[in-house]
Structure 1
Amino acid sequence: MKEKDIQRATSQIVEDVLEKANLKQGDIFVLGLSSSEVIGGQIGKESSQEIGEIIVKTILDILGKKGIHLAVQGCEHVNRALVVER
């Protein structure tokens, strides 16, 4: 997938979720995903930091404009810890 395609798909998904979830300023959006699956692979087998960074940056841009915070669920290697901003 090309960067622009990932950004476009991510933006559309996030906007759809925000519309349905009715999140407001100060709320928290929780992200859990597999970069391996985004590129068509098996979970945990083809991880891509580059893909993850594109997705997170795109989401942060959208959420930041709305005053919504981002929390990210980690993988099994970190016991699926929830990482939040300070």
Structure 2
Amino acid sequence: MDFQEITRQARQAAAELLAAARLAPGSILVVGCSSSEILGRRIGHGSSMEAAAAVFAGLQPVAAEAGVYLAAQCCEHLNRSIVLEAAALPPGAEPVSVIPQPKAGGSFATTCWQHFERPVALEGIRADAGMDIGDTLIGMHLKPVAVPVRLSLNRIGDANLVCARTRPKFIGGARAVYAPEV
């Protein structure tokens, strides 16, 4: 597998998603990433720290340049908990005590934990946008109204890529007026 190509694909996907989502600095981008699926294996059956590092190398600089916090969804063995920078903790958030590992949390969450300045884990979050690499089911960590975002690519490596942004709920019925940017 060409890890440089995985980094390039991740960088391109992040740039396209952030442009489409128009996230403000301080927003949170949640990423679920199956390194197994990237390498053409079944999710949970071929975890690769190298593939995870390649994805992180593509995503993190794009997110950092936009002032967006990257949040990593752990695998089902850690109940899909979230790893993020302590600086991104929402008000009232209660960190949990766990350190992800490649076989308990996943390679991508482990990579994020190792590279974040002050990593913390949470049971859940309500992110502003999301990237699902390899059918990891990130929807539980998005704000309530998720809108699909179609990118110019739909795979990273061999893994399916599905992205979303969120928007405020529309309320008020037929006479309501909504902001055009949402």
Could you tell me the TM-score, scaled by structure 2's length?
0.45
- Structure 1 position 57 matched with structure 2 position 54: no
More relative contact order, 1 or 2 (CA 8 Å, 6+ apart): 1
Q: Comparing both structures, which one devotes a greater share of its residues to helix? A: 1
Larger radius of gyration: 2
Contact 2:9–2:58 (8 Å) recurs in 1: no
Matched residues in 2 for 1:55 and 1:26: separation? 21
- Structure 1 position 4 matched with structure 2 position 4: yes
- Matched with 1:42 is 42
Amino acid at match of 1:40: G
Matched residues in 1 for 2:57 and 2:11: separation? 10
Q: Comparing both structures, which one devotes a greater share of its residues to strand? A: 2
Could you tell me the TM-score, scaled by structure 1's length?
0.92
Matched residues in 2 for 1:73 and 1:42: separation? 18
Unaligned residue ranges in structure 2 (runs of 5+): 87-182
Deviating above 3 A after TM superposition, structure 1's stretches of 4 or more consecutive aligned residues are: none
Matched residues in 2 for 1:13 and 1:24: separation? 18
- Please state whether the residue corresponding to 2:58 is helix, strand or coil: helix
Unaligned residue ranges in structure 1 (runs of 5+): none
Amino acid at match of 1:15: A
Identical aligned residues as a percent? 37
Deviation at 1:61, TM superposition (A): 1.1
Q: May I ask how many residue pairs the two structures share in their alignment?
A: 86
